[in-house]
Amino acid sequence: MNIQTTNRLTSAETALIEAYNDQMGDLPGDGEVFAVRDRLLDELKTSGLPTRRVEAWHYTDFKNLLRLVPSDIGKGLIEALPATVEGSSVLAVLQGKASEKGAVKNLAVGPYADSLINGTAAAGLEALGKDDAIGRINASFVRDGYVIDFPDGTELEAPLEVQFIHAGGQIHSRLPVSFGAGVKATVIERHQAVEGAAALVSSVSEIKIGKGAEVTWIVLQKQGAEDTHLGQIRVDLGADAKLKLFVINAGGKLVRQELHVKVTGEGSDLTVRGINLLGGDSHTDVTLVLGHDVPHTGSTEIVRNVVFDRARGVFQGMIRVAPDAQKTDARMACNTLLMSDEAEFSVKPELEIFADDVQCGHGATVADIDENHLYYLMARGIPRNKARAMLVNAFVAEIVEELEDEALVEALEGVISAWLEKHA
């Protein structure tokens, strides 16, 4: 969060501060944890939420866009949902609280609330920098989540799905996950509203990937039409490790999804894929900060966006190559379909390269449906609306098909198709 002096807080900022004062007696944590929480709230009082003047938030004026802050933590009995992929193991965080049904064979799993109570979570609550509004809000209010450890050599035959399910209110969760050497696993991080009550949701996932591990991590965000979703992924990618990180945004009114990745092990490879499906008057911001810190590493990032109605979208992608990171190969692309004259999408790709033996590049396109492709389908008897829907679906489905897991691809394509049927 940028430290900028302000004497005037918005109603949302005031509501956040009042919510903390109301909730602090019920929040879990020892003295060290509360010292961090209190300091972060003091910084919020001093600086306020980021505005366009903060470069990292230039296209998302968070101070003015955040309008609704529910006063309570959300009530009501809700249950875990059926798994996205049949046969998956499911861990559920229901209305911000880890379910008692948390055992998964071969994994060490525990509630995050325990690490707050015994103080071991204190160091991890620190913000990533002066502009880290999501980290500060989450650390101030977080109540629960899961701590998961994959022992060396673990191989999951089916995905592990961690569900963050809510029915409105304030929901703040954390998910620290450690993958040991040689692990092979797929994790689905699923965020979903099940009722219409508005929510303010924040989530921070801390992912540490050990030597030679091969991990697929999927973020599936399907919040309600009036919800604010603040997501943050923090990744440390070890030597010879491979990470496929897929993010699908298919909901929410105000969404900021941050991806902070440090490539710290030689020989590692990162794949980032994003799909943003935007409609109504929603605003979705995906911001990637990727640091290649060591030699002989590679990464590719492709983001596809479909924007209907009066929706606004943002993709900011920063790739930093350190002086010692020779032989880095990093490529980034962002492609957008604007389906309405009132739709908007802003793209800001950046490269900071301090090594001289690298291959790096970026590109961006913004367009409407290709009329030649549309004519080709219509000439074969396909109605115009259906032809447009087919082309849009193909535009984003190409990304999902890279997963190469038939059951997973089918499930995610179903999510995309259902969204397009509703909005197209």
The pair of structure tokens assigned to 271 is: 């794949």
**Poorest-pLDDT segment among 118-127, 172-181, 414-423:** 414-423
Contacting residues for 290 by C-beta, under 8 A, at least 6 apart: 259, 261, 263, 270, 272, 299, 301, 317, 318, 319, 320, 330
Whose structure tokens read 């046969």? 87
Read off the pLDDT of residues 214-252 as tens digits, 9 standing for 90 and up.
999 999 999 999 999 999 999 999 999 999 999 999 999
pLDDT tens string 358-370 = 888 888 888 777 6
Higher pLDDT, 104 or 116: 116
pLDDT of residue 298: 94
Comparing 277 with 356, which gets the higher pLDDT? 277
> β-strand 269-278 against 298-307: which pairing, if any?
parallel
Mean pLDDT for all residues in the chain: 91
**Token pair for 231:** 């997501």
Average pLDDT over residues 200-221: 97
CA distance 137 to 252: 18
Q: 305-355 pLDDT, tens per residue?
A: 999 999 999 999 999 999 999 999 999 999 999 988 899 999 999 888 888
Residue 7 confidence class, pLDDT cut points 50, 70, 90? low
Q: Which residues contact 205 (CB under 8 A, 6 or more apart)?
A: 174, 175, 176, 177, 189, 231, 232, 233, 234
Min mean pLDDT across 90-104, 157-171, 212-226, 267-281 is at: 90-104
Residue 108 has pLDDT above 90, yes or no: yes
339: part of which helix (H) or strand (E)? none
Is it the case that residue 139 has pLDDT exceeding 90?
A: yes
